[in-house]
Amino acid sequence: MKKSIIGAAVAAAALVCSFAVAAEEVHVAVAANFTAPAKDLQPIYEKATGDKLVLSFGATGAFYAQIKNGAPFDILLAADAKTPAKAVAEGHGVAGTPFTYAVGKLVLWSSDANLVKNDVAAVLNSANVKHVAIANPKLAPYGEAAYQTLKSLGLEKAVEGKTVLGDNIGKTYQFVKTGNAEAGFIALSQCFKDGKFVSGSGYVIPQDLYSEIKQDAVLLKKGENNEGAKRFLKFLKESKEATAIRDAYGYGTAK
């Protein structure tokens, strides 16, 4: 009996050790609009695998500049599809690994619960709306989508003199959240969860008014030999948990 107990203990210890050796630390650069979903995914993934995710949040363009300069990221979850493709083309990403992990949606939002109804023109032309926050279209896909929307609706003049540009969608959201802009075009995921706006008021912009915002993930060269990085990408792409969280924050799926 004593020998069998000792044998079982040794086997259990060996199992724990092998699991610890297999577990990896994975450094992930995450586009600002995907901050909340990534934070929700982190504990679920870590519990399922034993891996540790080290998440950094910010602008895709800024992350790519860091990656080119040797930043130790294993994965990039971008706000667009262009940057992961560029990473592969320029030798910083692993060929064959990019895929669309989410399709972003644009929303006109205000921290004022009564401001935004279903009429974009009424909001932008309102005398009470003196500032409209938009992400810089040269730096952020959501900013580009906002200007495409304005053009589609013939509302470019409505924001003349009112526009406040954010360097990225995170800063753009902060302009609106703090009231420095009465309204703004931001990512739906920043103000929405489980089928409703978590605060303020908003109108989801119909997707036929702007180009599809495909957000791609890519395994970076520094993560090429990190099995945890590969596991996380597979989890993000295939797991029911990841799909449920994307849905909760209003993301679409690639066509």
What does the pLDDT look like over 9-25, one tens digit per residue?
Answer: 444 444 444 444 478 99
Amino acid 180: pLDDT: 96
Same domain, 97 and 111: no
Does residue 133 sit within a domain? yes
Does residue 254 sit within a domain? no
Does residue 125 sit within a domain? yes
Does residue 185 sit within a domain? yes
Which residues are CB-contacts of 10 (< 8 A; sequence separation ≥ 6)? Answer: none
Same domain, 164 and 219: no
Same domain, 145 and 156: yes
Instruction: Give the position of tokens 């982190």.
Output: 42
- State the CATH number of the domain containing residue 176: 3.40.190.10
Task: Name the domain boundary from 186, 204, 222.
Answer: 204
Pairing of strands 183-187, 106-110: antiparallel
Number of domains in the chain: 2
Rounded Cα distance between 77 and 202, Å, is 26
Average pLDDT, the chain: 92
Amino acid 253: pLDDT: 82
Same domain, 110 and 148: yes
Same domain, 99 and 110: no
Does residue 95 sit within a domain? yes
| Mean predicted confidence (pLDDT) in 76-100 | 98
Same domain, 145 and 235: no
Q: How confident is the model at residue 8 (pLDDT cuts 50, 70, 90)?
A: very low
Does residue 33 sit within a domain? yes
Cα distances (angstroms) measured from residue 211 to each of 94, 104, 143:
26, 10, 11
Domain coverage including residue 92: 25-103+214-249
Rounded Cα distance between 244 and 229, Å, is 21
Same domain, 136 and 223: no
Does residue 17 sit within a domain? no
Annotated binding residues, as ranges? 60, 169
**Tokens at 110, concatenated:** 């205000």
Amino acid 31: pLDDT: 96
Q: How confident is the model at residue 255 (pLDDT cuts 50, 70, 90)?
A: low
Same domain, 95 and 38: yes
Which residues are CB-contacts of 249 (< 8 A; sequence separation ≥ 6)? Answer: 36, 37, 188, 189, 192, 193
**Tokens at 228, concatenated:** 């945890």
DSSP-derived 3-state class of residue 184: strand
Same domain, 98 and 219: yes
Which residues are CB-contacts of 127 (< 8 A; sequence separation ≥ 6)? Answer: none
Does residue 19 sit within a domain? no
Q: Is 71 exposed, middle or buried (0-12, 13-18, 19+ CB in 10 A)?
A: middle
C-beta neighbour count of 141 within 10 angstroms: 28
C-beta neighbour count of 50 within 10 angstroms: 15
Reported pTM: 0.88
Does 240 have pLDDT greater than 70?
A: yes
| Mean predicted confidence (pLDDT) in 179-193 | 97
Does 189 have pLDDT greater than 60?
A: yes
Same domain, 98 and 114: no
Same domain, 110 and 92: no
Same domain, 127 and 93: no
Annotated binding residues for molybdate, as ranges? 60, 169
- Among 104-108, 169-173, 227-231, 250-254, the minimum mean pLDDT is found in 250-254
